[in-house]
Amino acid sequence: MPVEEWSERIWVARLTDEPGFSDELRPLTDTLQSQDDPPALVIDLADVTQINSSNLSQLLRLRKLMVERDVQLRLSGPSDAVWSIFIMTGLDKVFHFTEDTATALTELQLAQ
């Protein structure tokens, strides 16, 4: 997963399907947890075609960390199949979604 430091205060992480999803999100969460003042984060889901309960759990742990640190988190570009999982689980109301990464970046820039 390429993590792009889009700016000093905003990172973009582009996730892919398993096994990459889990293997890439875990170290990102650890890195953010070790920082005193982590940046805002956009998780680009455009290349994720399916998502499982383990992936959702990882995203919830990441969200919890970001909420505790009062840092913004956006999920962008989910496919219809992935979006339907978020809706069925009710997580569409827990996470903040944007249609694409550009929109997420704009929102985060305006919020700073």
Q: What is the pLDDT of residues 1-20, one digit of tens each?
A: 578 999 999 999 999 999 98
CATH code for the domain of 17 = 3.30.750.24
Q: How far apart are CA 5 and CA 39, in angstroms?
A: 9
Indicate the pTM of the whole model.
0.93
Local structure of 2: helix, strand or coil: coil
pLDDT value of position 74: 98
Domain count, the chain: 1
pLDDT value of position 91: 98
Question: CA-based angle 32:98:17, to the nearest 5?
Answer: 65
pLDDT tens sequence across 47-98: 999 999 999 999 999 999 999 999 999 999 999 999 999 999 999 999 999 9
Local structure of 79: helix, strand or coil: coil
Extract the tokens encoding 39. Answer: 């940046």
**Residue-wise over 15-44: b if at least 16 C-beta within 10 A, else e?**
bbeeeebeebbeebbeebeeeeebbbbbbb
Extract the tokens encoding 7. Answer: 């700016």
User: What domain range is 21 assigned to?
Assistant: 3-111
Instruction: With beta carbons less than 8 A apart as the criterion, state whether 112 and 9 touch.
Output: yes
Q: How far apart are CA 76 and CA 88, in angstroms?
A: 18
